[in-house]
Amino acid sequence: MAHLPVLLNEVLATLKPTAGETVLDGTVGSGGHALAIGKQLGSTGLLIGLDQDAEAILKATETLKSLSCQVRLIKSNFRHLAKIIAEQKLLPLDGLLLDLGIHSDQLASSGRGFSFQRDEPLDMRMGAEAVVTAAEVVNDWSEASLTDILLGFGEERHAKAIAKAIVTGRKYRPFETTFDLIEVIKQAVPEGYTKRRLHFATKTFQAIRMAVNEELQALDEVMPQALTALASGGRLAIITFHSGEARIIKRHFRGWRAEGLGEVGKKALKPTRAEVLTNPRSRSATLRHFVKN
């Protein structure tokens, strides 16, 4: 399944990319949002795309090759935004986008265990920067730490039972693949939980992925860098899929507004029903935006 950029019309409406501007997509993925943005920048504009996944950079290169604007694709985590701005000698940004969702290509064909639908090694690292694998998390972390991430990152109601089952299971043999983990989760949760529309392993996999890649820490780190990087009148748009992400963004936005540094978008934007029907993965997406004074 091809990756469909989430909330694309809303992204364009809030970022308002215009010919000659400089816009940075901090999570370029396979290039869906970036392609639409780049078409608005014209031959005098500059589009920068970041992604920590080398495979994503290759795919984005192919997707964006038809654009007339200048394109620079850089393999890096957006938490290093200030360093990248300096190294690339970039002018202040007119627009900055962060789509915090995992893109479909990573789920479908990475071979790194992001999906519970295929039996793959428990890796879940989005880039080489991540030093801990998912296998190390489930095989080495304490029961208390596992419970904490399942509750905090996954909002998993059966966190304690799943963590306990993982710790018990690894005494007999280490977890190596996604199916090893799924089987233990299935045994740990009530039978009715396995028959819901949302797969019973979804929240556990999300929690482990977020822990491996330090996703909330990276978001918290990039927020002040993003504010500094924006030009006067610059627009910041962030798509979230998780309440923890939303809390971090709202905290920074409130602080910026209180200091008179800019205006927060009047309301968070959600996908239309038509988009959800076309792309069910967009269901939990929310777009928040900020305009710097």
- Which residues make up each annotated binding site for S-adenosyl-L-methionine? 31-33, 51, 78, 99, 106
Burial readout 159-192 (b: 16 or more C-beta within 10 A, e: otherwise): bbbbbebbbebeeeeebbebbbbbebbeebbeee
In whole angstroms, what is the distance from residue 266 CA to residue 262 CA?
12
Q: 216-246 burial by CB neighbour count: b if 16+ within 10 A, else e? A: bebbbbbbebbbebbeeebbbbbbbbbebbb
CA–CA gap between residue 99 and residue 285 (Å, rounded): 9
Q: Which residues are annotated as a binding site?
A: 31-33, 51, 78, 99, 106
Q: Which of 114, 135, 132, 131 is nearest to 180 (CA)?
A: 135
Cβ neighbours of residue 113 closer than 8 Å, sequence gap 6 or more = 120, 121, 122, 123, 124, 134, 177, 178
